Amino acid sequence: MTAGTVAPSTAIAPDVVDAGDLSSFGYTQQLHRSIGSYGSFAAGFSFVSILTTVFQLFAFGFAFGGPAFFWTWPLVFAGQMLVALCFAELAARYPISGCIYQWASRLGGKLWGWAAGWLMLVAQVVTVAAAAIALQIVLPSIWSGFTIVSNPTHNAVILGSLLLVITTVINAVGIGVMSRINSIGVTCELIGVVLLCIALFSRSERGPQAVIHRGVGMPGGTAYLSAFVISGLMAAYVMVGFDSAGELSEETKQPRRTAPRTILRALAVSGVGGAFMLLATMMAAPSLTDGSLGDPARGLPYVLTERLGPVLGRVFLIDVAIAVTVCTLAIQTASTRMIFSMARDRVLPFSRALSKVNRRTGTPILPAILVGLLAALLLVVNVGNAQIFLALASVCIMLLYVAYLMVTVPLLLRRRAGLLESRIGPDGEPLFSLGKWGTAVNLGAIVWGGAMAVNLGWPRPEVFGAVWYLHWFPLLFLAGTAVVGYLAWLEQREQVRRAASRLDPNPGADIAPREPVAGAVVLG
C-alpha cells in the first residue's frame, strides 16, 4: 500500500456483531433483530402497564388500606428497583431470549434454571389471561354495545377471548409489527397518564395530605398494619414484568447496552407515573368515605366519569383500553419467547415443534398460538367461578416473585464467591455494573423478594376467600405447578432418550442451557 492510501473500512455491521455475540453462547440468530431502544423500553413498560393494572386493582388496595395505602406504592417500587438493578447487570452479560430461565440456568445450574423458567412460564400465561379480562372494566363503560351478554363474567370472557385472537395474530405476523403496535400503544398510554394526572389535579377536592390518613372506618393499631400489608398486594401485582426488555434481547439491537437501561427505565417511569395517578385519584375523588373507591364495580373508572364528565371520561377510558391491549400483547410476546428459549434447549415437551421459527416473519408462531389458547381456556374458569380466577391471577404474581428469587439468590452466591469480575463486553466497552454496591443491592433484592413472596402467598380468607381450597390456594397451586412441571421434565427426558435411541443427529440437544464458547462474556 502506497503512502496516502486509505485502508478499506473494516467496520462490521451492528447486526452482524450482535449475531456473533449470540453465537458465543452457542445459539444462531433466528429471530429478527429489529427492536431499538424505545421498542425495548415499551416492551417492559407495557407489561407493567400502570393504566391497565392501576385501573384494574385500585379498588382492591383502597378497600383494605384506605387513602394511606398510597404509601405501599413507593415501598414496593423501592424493593422492585433493587431487583431491577440486579437484572440490569445480568441483561448486560446474558443478552438471550427467555432471560429468567437463561440467567437462572447459568447462575444455578440446569435443573435450577429449568424450575425458574417453568414457574415464570406458568405465571406469564396466567397473567396474559388476567390482562385480557381487564377489558371488561373499561369497554362497557365506554359504549353499551360492548356488553355482548348481560352476565358480566361471561361478557368478560368474550371480550378477553377476542383480544387474545388479535394479539395472537399480531405475534404471529412478526416482531416488527408487534413492536410498532406496542410502541404506539405505549406512547398513547404515557400521554394518557400525563393528561389524566393533570385533569384530575385540576379538579381536586382535597389536598395531598389525604394520603396520610387511613380513612374513616379503618381499624387502628396492629389491625390496620395487617390491612396495610394486604393493600400492598395491589402495588406488588402491578410492578412486575419490567424484565421483558431482557426477554426480547435476541431481537434488540445492541442488547448489552440497550436492555439494562430499558429495564430500569421501564420500572422508573411506571413507578413515578403510577404514584401520580394514585395521588391525583384520591385528591379528585368525590368522596373518600362513601365506599365507592373500594367498590370493584366502581373504583377508579367511577372517579373519571364523575370528575371529568362522561365525554372526557370516556376518552381516557379509550386510552385505558389501548393500554390493556398492548399489555396483553407484551405479556404474550414475553411468554412466547420463554417457550422458544426453553424449547430450543430441548427442556420442554414437543420442543422441536415449539422451537421452530418462521423464516419469513422471524417469529416462533406455534408458541404464540399455544399461549393464546391456554390463556383463553383460563378465561373460561371465570365463567364457573370468578373467585377462583381472581385467586389464580393473584397466585401467578407470587410465582413471578419466586422466579425472580431463583435469579437473585444464586447471583448473590456467585458474587460472594468473587465470580463477578467481568465488567467489559466483547466490544471492549464497559458493561453495566453495580460495583461496590452490588452485594448490598443483591442482598436487599433477596430479602425484599422473599418477604413479598410470603405476603403474596399467605393463605388469607380476606384475599382468597373463606372456602378451604381457596384459602389455601397459593400453596395448592404452587404444589400443582411443581408436580405438572416434574411430569413435563420427565416427558422431555423420555423424548430425548427416544431420539438418542434413533441415532438422532443432534443427541446433545437436551443440554440446557448450551455452554458458552470462547469469547463469551460470562459472570463465572
| Residue written as grid cell 450482535 | 18
Contact yes or no for 131/324 (Cβ under 8 A)? yes
Amino acid identity of residue 287, one-letter, is S
Give the pLDDT of residue 520: 38
Give the pLDDT of residue 450: 96
Contact yes or no for 294/62 (Cβ under 8 A)? yes
Backbone angles phi, psi at 393, to 5 degrees: -65, -35
Give the pLDDT of residue 2: 43
Contacts of 130 (CB under 8 A, 6+ apart): 392, 393, 396
Which DSSP symbol is given to 503?
Answer: T
Give the pLDDT of residue 207: 93
CA distance 365 to 372: 11
CA distance 386 to 393: 11
Amino acid identity of residue 184, one-letter, is I
Give the other-Cβ count within 10 Å of 202's Cβ: 11
Give the pLDDT of residue 421: 54
For residue 340, give the C-alpha cell. Answer: 422458544
- For residue 311, with 0-12 CB atoms within 10 Å meaning exposed, 13-18 middle and 19 or more buried, which class applies? exposed
- For residue 472, with 0-12 CB atoms within 10 Å meaning exposed, 13-18 middle and 19 or more buried, which class applies? middle
Give the pLDDT of residue 491: 77
Give the other-Cβ count within 10 Å of 36's Cβ: 15
Give the other-Cβ count within 10 Å of 523's Cβ: 18
Give the pLDDT of residue 35: 93
- For residue 298, with 0-12 CB atoms within 10 Å meaning exposed, 13-18 middle and 19 or more buried, which class applies? middle
Number of H helices, E strands in the chain: 21, 0
- Within 13 Å, how many C-alpha atoms sit on residue 108's CB side? 23
For residue 115, give the C-alpha cell. Answer: 424450575
Beta bridge partners of 174: none
Which DSSP symbol is given to 467?
Answer: S
Indicate the domain borders of the chain: 29-510
Nearest to 266 by CA among 61, 50, 96: 50
Give the other-Cβ count within 10 Å of 147's Cβ: 16
pLDDT in tens, the chain (524 residues): 444 444 444 556 677 788 888 998 999 999 989 899 999 999 999 999 998 888 888 999 999 999 999 999 999 999 999 999 999 999 999 999 999 999 999 999 998 999 999 999 999 999 999 899 888 888 988 888 899 998 888 898 999 999 999 999 999 998 889 999 999 999 999 999 999 999 999 999 999 999 998 887 788 788 899 999 999 999 999 999 999 989 999 999 999 999 999 999 999 999 999 999 999 999 999 999 988 899 887 888 889 888 888 888 888 889 999 999 999 999 999 999 999 999 999 988 889 999 999 988 889 999 999 999 999 998 887 665 666 766 777 788 899 999 999 999 999 999 888 766 567 777 677 899 998 899 999 999 999 999 999 999 888 887 877 777 777 888 888 888 888 888 888 877 777 777 677 654 544 444 445 544 433 334 43
Classified by CATH at the fold level, domain 29-510 comes out as Amino acid/polyamine transporter I (1.20.1740)
Contacts of 97 (CB under 8 A, 6+ apart): 31, 247, 248, 249, 250, 251, 337, 338, 340, 341
pTM score: 0.89
Amino acid identity of residue 505, one-letter, is P
Which DSSP symbol is given to 128?
Answer: H
Nearest to 216 by CA among 65, 7, 94: 65
Amino acid identity of residue 31, one-letter, is L
CA distance 289 to 285: 10
User: DSSP letters along 358-385, please?
Assistant: BTTTTB-HHHHHHHHHHHHHHHHHHHH-
Give the other-Cβ count within 10 Å of 437's Cβ: 11
Amino acid identity of residue 441, one-letter, is V
Backbone angles phi, psi at 36, to 5 degrees: -95, -165
